[in-house]
Every structure is written in structure tokens, then in C-alpha cells.
With several copies, the nearest count.
Chain A
Amino acid sequence: MKKENISILLTSEKLNIQTCYDFVQDSSCGGIALFVGTVRNLTKEKEVTQLDFSSYGPMAEKEMQKIAAQALEKFDILKIAIHHVEGELNIGDIPVIIAVSAPHRKAAFAACQFAIDTLKETVPIWKKEHFTDGEVWVNSTP
């Protein structure tokens, strides 16, 4: 596992799909799988007006790095980028992009799914949804 095959980003800037693609693209790979999260306007029939992502920054970056390293170990892939936003987002904005390149597409898809599934379980980032009538921390019904 080589560190130069991993791109981790936690930023308050807009995420860029082409940046992730360009990082993982390589002449030895036959396929690139990408996952792009987008802010939905409906969660359980309530209209989301805005989202806030807050994070435990240093730990979030470490956990994203771990996921990338695990993906490179578990799957026959070449490079992986995991980029996540913090701060305020609106409907249609992109909270997360994951890009994976591999010699063969099956490994690229598997690693991309593994990365987003694991990110949603382990990376200390929290999403607060704002509705017209209030707000809620997602996943946090006490």
C-alpha cells in the first residue's frame, strides 16, 4: 500500500468530480468507479432546506485514510480518492465523492461500495438537517 495512491480531503470548499477522477486515472487501469453523494430534498417526507456537516476534523481525516488503506489491501485496485465536505450545503450539493481505479471494473465497484459504506459507519462527521419547521441530527434519535 503506497500513500501516493491515496487522496484524502476534508474541506469547506466545493468538491470536484474531475479532480477525483484525475487523481485515480492511470494508464494501467481499465475502469474507474465513482460514487457521488448528493443532498436530497426529502427525508421521510419532510422537506430539507439545508444541511450542515460538522466533523472531528483530525480524526475524520485519519479514519478516511484508514478506509483508503483497507480498500487498497482488500481489493485489487490502483488508486482511491475520498473527498468530503464540511459546513453548509444546499439541495443538490455534493457532500462526498469516492473514486477508485482498478485494472478490472469488478474490484473498482467493490472497493467504491466498501469505502462509502465504511465511511458512513466510522468517519466522525455529523449531518444536521434543517427543515422548514426545525432541525435534526441525522441518525441521532435518542
Chain B
Amino acid sequence: MKVTILLFGIVRDIVQSGSISLESDSISTVASLKTLLFEKYSKLKTYSNFSIAVNEEYVEDSYVLKNNDTVAIIPPVSGG
């Protein structure tokens, strides 16, 4: 399965990229994607306090991803 991952705020600075593409058979739920991300981008472990949105909606770790989903890593927001 392939997903696009959008990065924002402090997480974008940590990974030094606004968007990454991940393709792996081990992706199923959001939780499994997180595990994969922490493996590939170990710097992310220093900042694991983020939420996940899929296709522009907040989801839980148990959410089951589909091929070509757009996943966003949402660090604590600070608008307003």
C-alpha cells in the first residue's frame, strides 16, 4: 500500500520536508504507519505528540488506511 504523508509545523522542521511518500506491505492501520514512520524517521520519536488526519479528517490509531490515502501529521495546533 502507498500513502502520501503531509508534514506541518515543528514536524516539518524535524523531518525537513513537507511531504513524504511511503510504500509498504506492512501499512494497515494508522498505528502501523506510525511504527513504520518512527523506524524510517527516528528524529520523529523526539516529537511523538501529534495527531493524525486522513483525507483531511482527524482519525484514531485504529483507523484502517486505504491505498493512496493522504495522511497528515498534525502537531499541537496554535492558531488563533
Chain A residues at the B interface, C-beta cutoff of 8 Å: 37, 53-56, 58-60, 62, 84, 95-96, 116, 119-128, 137-140, 142
Q: Is B63 an interface residue (CB 8 A)?
A: no
Contacts A56-B53, A58-B56, A126-B75; A140 near B80 (Cβ below 8 A): no
Q: Is B10 an interface residue (CB 8 A)?
A: yes
Task: Provide the main secondary structure of the chain B interface.
Answer: mixed
How many A-B residue contacts, CB cutoff 8 Å?
79
6 nearest A-B residue pairs (beta carbon): A125-B79, A126-B9, A138-B78, A59-B56, A139-B76, A137-B10
Cβ contact within 8 Å between A124 and B77: yes
Chain B residues at the A interface, C-beta cutoff of 8 Å: 6, 8-10, 13, 46-47, 49, 53, 56-58, 72, 74-80
Cβ contact within 8 Å between B8 and A124: yes
Chain A residues with CB under 8 Å of B75's CB are 126, 137, 139-140
Chain B residues with CB under 8 Å of A122's CB are 58, 77
In the docked arrangement, what's the CA distance between A128 and B76, Å? 12
A-B contact pairs, 26 of them (CB 8 A): A56-B6, A56-B8, A56-B74, A58-B56, A84-B79, A84-B80, A116-B80, A119-B79, A119-B80, A120-B77, A121-B77, A122-B58, A124-B8, A124-B77, A124-B79, A125-B79, A126-B9, A127-B78, A137-B10, A139-B76, A139-B77, A140-B9, A140-B10, A142-B10, A142-B47, A142-B49
Chain B residues with CB under 8 Å of A96's CB are 79-80
Contacts A59-B56, A142-B46; A37 near B80 (Cβ below 8 A): yes
A33 to chain B, nearest CB (A): 13
Closest to A117 in B: B80
In the docked arrangement, what's the CA distance between A115 and B77, Å? 15
Closest to A123 in B: B79
